[in-house]
Amino acid sequence: MGAGKLVLTLLFLAALVGAVPPAAAEYADVLLNRRSEKEGMRPVVFPHWFHRIRFRCKVCHAELGFKMRVGGNDFKMSDIAEGRFCGACHNGDIAWAPDKCDLCHSGKRGLPTGIYGGHETGGPGRW
């Protein structure tokens, strides 16, 4: 592809991105669906907005060691039940216990793991 064509393609894509109305999910919502749906549960929705009202980023991304990459932390339900990842707080102490399945597993079936919310400006590498 020549440079001119490449640019035209990019501009066309840019126009497309601009034309689609922003996804209505709240900015920075994370959807996790690596195994949930395969194992009969709805995908998990993790709302950043809700948690950052209560915790600074450093709590999850430094103290608890969540890597800043959606899908980058490979944890399972058993880790949560044993007090790791979400389970470091969702343990009946800092927040409600993991028995409230439906509060986390509230996502729409069929959606892939990812970060949602409209302004995702990932650029050419992510289009």
Partner 1 sequence: MRVSIFQGKTIRLGLAAALVAVVSLSVLAQQGWDTLRKDGIHDPRGPGVKELQEPAEALSKLTKDNTGNQVRWVQALEKGEINPRASIRPDTKIQVYDSDVLLNLKGGMPIVRFPHRQHTLWLDCTNCHDHLFKAETGANKLSMLSILNGEQCGVCHGAVSFPLTECFRCHSVSRPGQAPKPTLPIAIPHGAVPPR
In the complex, the residues that contact ligand HEC under the rule CB under 6 A are: 30, 32-36, 39, 41, 44, 46, 48, 50-52, 54-55, 57, 59-61, 64, 66, 68-73, 76-78, 80, 85-86, 88-90, 94-96, 98-101, 103-105, 115
Nearer to ligand HEC, 8 or 57 (CB): 57
CA distance 44 to 120: 19
101-106 long-range contacts, Cβ below 8 Å, gap at least 24? 101/41, 102/42, 104/44, 104/45, 104/46, 105/36, 105/41, 105/42, 105/43, 105/44, 106/42, 106/44, 106/45
Pair type for strands 44-47 and 29-32: antiparallel
Please state, as a whole number, how many other Cβ atoms lie within 10 Å of the Cβ of residue 94.
11
- List contacts with partner 1 (CB under 8 A): 1-4, 6-8, 10-11, 13-15, 17-18, 21-29, 31, 42, 45, 47-50, 52-59, 61-64, 68, 88-89, 94, 102-109, 111, 115-116, 118-126
Taking the complex as a whole, the smallest distance from the CB of residue 126 to partner 1 amounts, in Å, to 6
| Residue 90 binding result from partner 1, ligand HEC, none, given CB thresholds of 5 to 8 Å by partner type | ligand HEC
| Residue 35 binding result from partner 1, ligand HEC, none, given CB thresholds of 5 to 8 Å by partner type | ligand HEC
